[in-house]
Chain A
Amino acid sequence: MNALKGRAARAWYGFAAGAVLLFAVAPAALSDFRLGLFAKYLCMAMVAVGICLAWGRGGLLTLGQGVFFGLGGYAMAMHLKLADAGPGNLPDFMQLYGTATELPWWWRPFANPAVALAATVLLPVAVAALLGLLVFRRRVKGAYFAILGQALAAAFAIWLVGQQATTGGTNGLTDIQGFFGYDLHDPVNQRMVYFVIAAVLLLVVLLARQLIHSRYGELLVAVRDAEERVRFLGYNPANVKLVAYVVAAGTAGLAGALFVPAVGIISPALVGIVPSIEFVIGAAVGGRASLAGAVLGAVAVAWARTALSEEFPAAWTYFQGLLFVVALAFLPGGLASLPAVVRRRRAAAPVAVGEAA
C-alpha cells in the first residue's frame, strides 16, 4: 500500500512540475517564435499519449496515427477556413482551383463551430471504432496490424492529394487567419493558443493516467502480455484493444485540431506514412510504456529535429537516424528506463569489485 501511495505521490509531483514548466517557465523563457514551436511539440506529445496507451500498454503498433491526426486537423481547419471566408463565401483555395460554385455538402456541417469541434474528436473516434471492430474481431495483430496502419495512412494521404478542388490537394489548408474570432497573427493570441494546448495536454495526460491505473488499464496490459489467457478468463480481448485504439485515435484527432491554430496549416504531408512513423518514434525514444516517457520523448524528438536541422542543415538526417537507432536498439525501454539501467549498472559494479578482491 505504501508503494502505491508513493507512486501516486510521485505522479502528483511530476504532474505539478509539468504544469509549472508549461505555464510558468516555458512562457517566460521562450521567445514568441520558440513558444509557437513548443506548442507544436506539445501536439506531438499529445499523440504520443495515445500511442503510449495503445502501443506501450496494449501492444498495438499504431502506425496509422497520421490518419486520425489528419482527420482532427482537417475538421478544425475546415471550420477555420470557412470562418475566415465569412458566411456564404467559399474558402480562398476553392475559388482559385475549385470547379464548384457552392460549398460541397460535406463541408457544410463544419461551418458550425460546435459541430466542427466535436468532429475533431468524434470523427477519428468513429473511424477507429469501425476499423478496430473489424480488425480486432478478426485477430489481426503484430506486424499485420502495423502494415495495415501504414496502408491506411498512405491511402488517406493519396486521397487527400487527389481531391484538390475540395481539400486543397498537396497544399493542404493553409493561411488560416483566425481562431474562433481571435486573430492568429497577434502574438498575444498565439500565446493563448499555446496555453490552450498546454492545458489540454495536461488534461489528456491526467485522463490517460486514470485509465492506465484503472482495472481496465491492468486488463489492457494483460491482453498485451498474454492475450490467450485473458480470453480464457472470459474477457473479450478485441473489446479491450478497441477501447485503447479508439482513445488513441481521439487523442490524435484532438492533437491535430490544436496543431492547426498553432502552426496555421494542415496538409497531406502530416497524414501519410512518414509522419505516422515519426509520431511513434517519439513515444518509443522516450519510453512507450511510461506516460511521462512518451510525452517527454515526443517533445525531445521534435525538438531535436528542429535543433539539429538548424545546426546542420545538410547533414541533420544522419544525426536523427542515429538518435533513433541508438535509443531504440540499445535502450528498449526508451529514455524513461535510463535511470533504472544506470541503477542496475551501479548495483552490478560492486559485485565485480568484490569478485576481484
Chain B
Amino acid sequence: MSVILGQTFTGISIGAVLLLIALGLSLTFGQMNVINMAHGEFIMAGAYTTYVLQKSISDAGISLLVALPVAFCVSGVLGALLERLLIRRLYLRPLDTLLVTWGVSLMLQQLARDIFGAPNVQTRAPDWLTGHITLVGGDDPLTVADNRLFILGLAVAAVAALSLTLRLTPLGRRIRAVVQNRDLAEVSGISTSRVDRTAFFLGSGLAGVAGVALTLVGPIGPTMGTNIIIDAFLVIVVGGIGQLKGSVMVAFALGVLQSVLEYSTTVSVAKVLVLVAIVAFLQWRPQGLYTLRTRSLV
C-alpha cells in the first residue's frame, strides 16, 4: 500500500516538474503555435540566474526567492528578444520556427559554456528545502520531500496566475482573441504583434521560473534544457493546444504513469512505454485531450 502511495506521490512530483517546464510552452506553443526549441535554453537561463544570484546573496533561501522574479524577467526578455528578431518573421511558417530556434538553442548552449564553463555548476538549496515530511511513520515510512512540495506549490501558483491572467485581465482577453481569430482581432483594433510579444515574454518568463525550480532537483549545465524539452512539448500536444487544463491533467497523468511503470519495469522501458502510449493516445484523440474550437479552418 505504501508503495502505491509513495509512487503516486513520486508521480505527482514528476508531474509538477513537467507541468512547470511545459507551462510556458502552453502559451508560446499552445496559444501561438510556435515550436520554440530554445525554450529549454530559457529554462537554463533561469537556472543560471539562480546560480549568479547565489554568488551575491549568500543566504540560500532569500536568493532562491529573489531568483524567481529575476529569472522570470531574464528569460522573458530573452524570449521577447527572440520573438522580435526572428520568430516574428516566421509566423506564416510555423514549422520553420522549429529549425531556426534549434539553431538559436545551439548558440545559447555554447554561450553558456563560454560564460559559465563547460562543467555543471552548483547551487545550495536552503535548509528548509532539503528535508522531508513524514506522512506515515513506522517501519516503512511514507515521506514527501520538501523540495518536491515546493515545486508542486510553485506549479500550482504558476497555473493559477497564468489562468487568471488569461481569463480576467485585458491582456489575457487580447491573447485569447488573437488565438481564436487573428484577423478579426487585428480588425477590432488589437495590435497583434504587441500581443504576440507580450505572450512570448510571459511564456519564456515561465520557463525561467521553471529553471529556478529545477536547480532544487537537477543539474545546472549548458545542456540541461535539451533533456527535458521534448517531454514538455508532448505534454502540450497530448493536453490539447490552447488549453491550460489539458496540460495540467496530462502533466500529472504522465508523471504518475511514468513512476508506476518505472517501479514495475525499468526507467528506460517506462520511458519507451510512455512514449508509445502517447502515440496511441493521439490515435484516439488526434487533437489532444481538450480541443479548442476556433473559427479558423486550419
Contact = CB atoms under 8 A, between A and B. Distances in A.
Q: When A and B assemble into the complex, do they touch directly, with CB atoms less than 8 Å apart?
A: yes
A148 B268 contact: no
Interface string A127-148: 0000100110011101110111
Contact of B297 (A134, A154, A228, A328): A228
Given A151-B234, A324-B100, A332-B96, A139 B106 contact: no
B253 interface: no
A158 B266 CA distance: 12
A216 B140 CA distance: 66
A211 to B, nearest CB: 22
A301 to B, nearest CB: 11
B: interface residue count bin: 35 or more
The secondary structure that dominates the A interface is: helix
B230 A151 contact: yes
A287 to B, nearest CB: 12
B261 interface: no
Nearest to B92: A332
Nearest to B95: A61
A159 B104 contact: no
30 contacts: A61-B98, A134-B283, A135-B283, A138-B282, A140-B282, A142-B95, A143-B95, A144-B282, A146-B35, A147-B233, A147-B237, A148-B282, A151-B278, A152-B275, A154-B230, A158-B271, A158-B275, A159-B272, A162-B268, A281-B103, A284-B99, A317-B107, A318-B106, A321-B103, A322-B103, A325-B100, A325-B104, A328-B103, A329-B90, A329-B100
A186 B230 CA distance: 42
B200 interface: no
Interface string A310-337: 0000010110111111001110100000
B293 to A, nearest CB: 16
Contact of A324 (B102, B268, B297): B102
A: interface residue count bin: 35 or more
Contacts of A63: 98
Given A273-B230, A328-B99, 14 more contacts: A131-B279, A138-B286, A142-B95, A147-B233, A148-B279, A154-B275, A155-B276, A158-B268, A315-B110, A315-B114, A321-B107, A325-B104, A329-B100, A332-B96
Interface string A269-310: 000011001001100100000000000000000000000000
A150 interface: yes
B287 to A, nearest CB: 8
A161 interface: yes
B96 A328 contact: yes
A324 B105 CA distance: 11
B282 A155 contact: no
A151 B275 contact: yes
Contact of B110 (A155, A158, A317, A324): A317
Nearest to B282: A140
Contacts of B89: 329-330
